[in-house]
Chains A and B, each alone.
Chain A
Amino acid sequence: MRARQLLLDQRISLKHGAGGRAMRALIEDVFVKGLAEAPVDGIGLSAMDDGAALRVGDRWLVITTDSHVVHPVFFPGGDIGRLAIAGTVNDLAMMGATRVLALTCAVILEEGFARSDLERIQESIRSTCREAGAVIVTGDTKVMGRGEIDGIVLNTTGIGLTERVVPDSGLRPGDRILVTGTMGDHGFAIMALRKGLELEGDLRSDVAPLNDLVACALAAGESAVTAMKDPTRGGLSSALHEMADKSGVGIVLDERSVPVSPVVAAAADLLGIDPLHIANEGKAVLGVRPERAERVLAALRSHPLGEQAAIVGACIAEHAGAVILDTGFGRRLLSEPEGEPLPRIC
């Protein structure tokens, strides 16, 4: 059995890209080792945050990069183009860089890919950039032979400037945990599409650029916003575990105050999958000092993308790295998913 385990780990499996523990371990073992030793004035690779932050004069230059392989390319609520732009804009925003300086976009296409689909994706990229106030300043195009790649892969890099970097490791005991809306929408929309589930109501991805929403929250909370992260692959559970671990605090999550749309709740019940383990592409998690939490909540709720924002938990000094779920009936540890249960979600 041990031999089999070793053998498995000699090869990359889908879990290594699923956003959970396996992926973090792979990144730490392979990439961070040997690349992270070089000193960086700011936040570098070794922090394994949403992006890097480099000091430039009295401000910070934030850089992030992302590749997108979602299947199918078009899904309810969005497509790979919107996902690529929103994903990168959100990673910048999660570091505090809500003004996007520039984006790059590289595309790898499979021979035979429909030109009309590409144009549709391009239009979606354009409109999402407009929404985020971002411009693409450079790009790259490659085509590979049929079967050498599945359809289309997009890579986007973003840079932004900010006066204050908000890391994902800044939580302190007493901080309130806020989410900007319902959990699990993106992952369940993709899952339902792939599994052919017919559900009453609309399972739609929440994919959206969050920089304007986050700017509102930061304006209301200022330095009282101690940490931010977008709960993508692995869902809220992965995001909270990572934040708790890096910040050295415990988090108590109140399950019943976590917003979940009725159709996601129904799908979750049917499939036996916890919405807290499922990816979002248009949501953020914020840690806020208790005295400012209500004000930040009000700011979020006044924004169209944050109408269902909620305070869902609090940080404690004990149990560093653990996420305790208060179910209303009792308490248990929230499990950290190995990763997203479904591959190629974003």
Chain B
Amino acid sequence: MPTVSQDRPVSQLKFRDPAKARALADALERLTLRIGRAPVSVMHVCGSHEQAIAKFGLRATFPKGLNVIMGPGCPVCVTDVPEVDEAVVLAMQGVRIATYGDMVKVPGTVKSLADAQADGARVHVVYSVAQALALARETDEEVVFFASGFETTAVATAAVILRGLPPNFSVLSAHKYIPPVMEIVAEMPGTRVEGFLAAGHAATITGWGIFERFVERHRIPVVVAGFEPLDILAGLAKLLEVIHDGRPRVENMYPRCVTREGNLRAQEQLWRVFRPVGGRWRGIAHVPNGNLRLRDEWARLDARRRFRIDVTGVWDCAPSALVKDCVCGDIMAGIASPTDCALYGKECLPETPVGACMVSSEGTCRIWHQYGGHPDLGGMR
């Protein structure tokens, strides 16, 4: 059972000082003016960044000329339809599926795992890969862990695999790798993104050095930032500074956690288990090296090789009419926002989601809806 300490209320943490926040907001205003061409568009690629921005109402303090876009930062949202179909087909074949709660509701071609469950399939919501493992140890039946998440979560999956698994346990990996998708966004025709705010927790593993090649190739700066309101504001201020001085580089604004090299042991485990392969991200594009799949030496743990998964059977039915109006893909690519979608907050709600962006707690639509629906208060200051 979780136990929490009350020694230090959250509000007293030093990264939550409103006076410092105001000073940083003023700095953003100054820097945007100094850059002189509006709007300046920057992108973050992390649901946790959007959570903090929305929860603390930071968008209302951003200057008019600064456009902070959420990119493909929600691993559940970018899980492609055929990947969900694979899990649904496996579940319908009678295999027990263990997965994170958000994955259960993500629509596949015709069904989500929740629908499969309603039809009698056994789907278990777990909070960690360790819990999925515990489930497998309680039974002789086949248990497949439908794994989602970026490199941060993939490391946890890798560590469990390296420690040894029971014979009835296998992994259906939908893990994704963030650095390659930044290349895709940078290369999108007409992209407006002038800088990236990189996710601090992912960088604790990969190290900030991983972005150096990206900056060199695309001449777009990257700033690594943490998740407290001051972390984000300071990260954005640094990003604007670098955009202004015209010397693209990587800056680490999360030095209390992130080093240049990152966590070498975690990287070693990650790449011993997974290899990057190309694949589609829902709504975005084919992303070369964007999917993490099990290496050949782990073939016997790979659900794709252990079972015959024929997803063509679920493609008979057309998706519902509403799905065609869903702009999730454009939202994840950073070229539309939830309020551009006709379904947002009307037909599409957390209880009855149409697109993946409303399903996941890291999805842009879900986050905006949770924190009032309209992040910039329609110009209220």
Contact = CB atoms under 8 A, between A and B. Distances in A.
Interface of A: 1-2, 4-5, 8, 15, 196-201, 256, 262-263, 265-267, 269-270, 272, 318-319, 324-335, 338
Nearest to A334: B372
A1 B347 contact: yes
Interface string B133-155: 00000000000000000000000
B2 interface: yes
Nearest to B348: A1
A266 B347 CA distance: 34
18 contacts: A1-B321, A1-B322, A1-B347, A198-B3, A256-B11, A265-B10, A266-B4, A269-B4, A272-B361, A325-B57, A325-B372, A328-B21, A329-B57, A330-B56, A330-B229, A331-B60, A332-B54, A335-B373
Given A1-B354, A330-B57, A333-B373, 18 more contacts: A2-B321, A5-B352, A198-B2, A199-B4, A200-B3, A265-B11, A269-B4, A319-B380, A329-B18, A329-B56, A329-B233, A330-B60, A330-B229, A331-B380, A332-B371, A332-B372, A332-B377, A333-B377
Contact of A200 (B6, B21, B352, B373): B6
B310 to A, nearest CB: 26
B213 interface: no
A332 B60 contact: yes
B18 A333 contact: no
A197 B377 CA distance: 36
A334 B229 CA distance: 18
Contacts of A332: 54-57, 59-60, 371-372, 375, 377
B4 A270 contact: yes
B347 A5 contact: yes
Chain A to chain B: the 9 pairs with minimum beta-carbon distance, closest first: A333-B372, A330-B57, A332-B57, A328-B18, A329-B56, A331-B60, A330-B61, A266-B4, A329-B21
B320 interface: yes
B9 interface: yes
Interface string B278-299: 0000000000000000000000
A77 to B, nearest CB: 18
Interface of B: 1-6, 9-11, 16, 18, 21, 25, 54-61, 229, 233, 320-323, 347, 351-352, 354, 361, 369-375, 377, 380-381
Contacts of A269: 4, 10
B145 to A, nearest CB: 23
B6 A196 contact: no
A330 B22 CA distance: 9
B2 A197 contact: yes
A338 B56 contact: no
User: For B2, B5, B370, which residue has the most chain A Cβ atoms within 10 angstroms?
Assistant: B2
A296 B375 CA distance: 34
Contacts of B352: 1, 4-5, 8
A332 B2 CA distance: 31
User: For A197, A198, A327, which residue has the most chain B Cβ atoms within 10 angstroms?
Assistant: A327
Contacts of A8: 352
Contacts of B21: 328-330
Contacts of A324: 377, 380
Contacts of B2: 197-198, 270
Contact of B374 (A15, A270, A333): A333
A196 B1 CA distance: 8
Contact of A330 (B3, B5, B59, B374): B59
User: For B9, B229, B320, B380, which residue has the most chain A Cβ atoms within 10 angstroms?
Assistant: B380
B56 A201 contact: no
Contacts of A263: 6
A266 B6 CA distance: 7
Nearest to B319: A1
B292 to A, nearest CB: 27
Nearest to B228: A329
Nearest to B3: A198
Contacts of A333: 371-374, 377
Contacts of A328: 16, 18, 21, 56
B1 A198 contact: yes
Contacts of B11: 256, 265
A200 B233 CA distance: 33
B159 to A, nearest CB: 24
Nearest to B369: A335
Contacts of A1: 320-323, 347, 352, 354
Nearest to A252: B380
A269 B8 CA distance: 13
A5 B375 CA distance: 27
Contacts of B354: 1
A333 B18 CA distance: 18
Nearest to B354: A1
Nearest to A265: B9
Nearest to A316: B380
User: For B6, B347, B351, B354, which residue has the most chain A Cβ atoms within 10 angstroms?
Assistant: B6
A4 B4 CA distance: 41
A267 B2 CA distance: 10
A331 B381 CA distance: 7
Contact of B370 (A5, A196, A197, A335): A335
Contacts of A200: 3-6
A327 B60 CA distance: 11
Contacts of A325: 57, 372
B231 to A, nearest CB: 12
Contacts of A266: 4-6, 9
A262 B6 contact: yes
A71 to B, nearest CB: 21
Contacts of A329: 16, 18, 21, 56-58, 61, 229, 233
Contact of A197 (B1, B233, B351): B1
Contact of B55 (A2, A327, A338): A327
Contacts of B59: 330, 332
A327 B320 CA distance: 40
Contacts of B375: 332
A334 B380 CA distance: 13
